[in-house]
Structure 1
């Protein structure tokens, strides 16, 4: 995922936290903030030390980023999205993490549901 798709600045994170709409499940919390002037969505990821050591946290971040990248065509352009991993997500498989990301994004009405 290119750097232009990421939320990196603490002020941007804080803005989404302060003016947010949030949804959660057992594994993730998703905060969203609509921005009408954006050309594409931006993603911020937060994984606390409760998830594990540094290599475990990086592993989780990579899995989240990959899941969002696979869902990119179904995500709206005018959103800032923060994904916060809960400790239960540690040591889960890529497939399971993607399923849980899809679940929480559907709860938040962010993901466009595909017609079958």
Structure 2
């Protein structure tokens, strides 16, 4: 995922947490902020409570892979995805279903919204 698609600075994270809205399901929490920009930007958060660095990096890798897959359907907002306890135990299919579910709850994932220019995330 290119740098332009990432929320990296503490200032950006704080802005999303303070001014944005949040939605959650059992495995993930999404904070999102409506912005006028060309494409979405995402920040990822995985707590040390979920496991060691290998486990946490595996979860972030799954996030990035699925967000790249979902990119044609994601709205151009800033959002932060937080993994909850139990996310580390999900197989790939359940991880994908739970992530898609929470993104739909937030209104960030819209299947009819297909933008071909986003394929090179």
TM-score by length of 2: 0.89
1:20 — aligned with what?
20
Give the distance between the partners of 2:55 and 2:28, measured in 1 at CA: 16
1:68 — aligned with what?
67
1:89 — aligned with what?
87
Give the distance between the partners of 1:74 and 1:109, measured in 2 at CA: 11
State the Cα distance separating 1:91 from its structure 2 match: 2.8
2:48 — aligned with what?
49
Asked if structure 2 preserves the Cα contact closer than 8 Å seen for 1:67 and 1:97, the reply is: no
TM-score by length of 1: 0.92
State the Cα distance separating 1:29 from its structure 2 match: 0.1
State the Cα distance separating 1:108 from its structure 2 match: 1.1
Give the distance between the partners of 1:53 and 1:21, measured in 2 at CA: 29
How many residues of Structure 1 are paired with residues of Structure 2 in the alignment?
A: 113
2:117 — aligned with what?
none
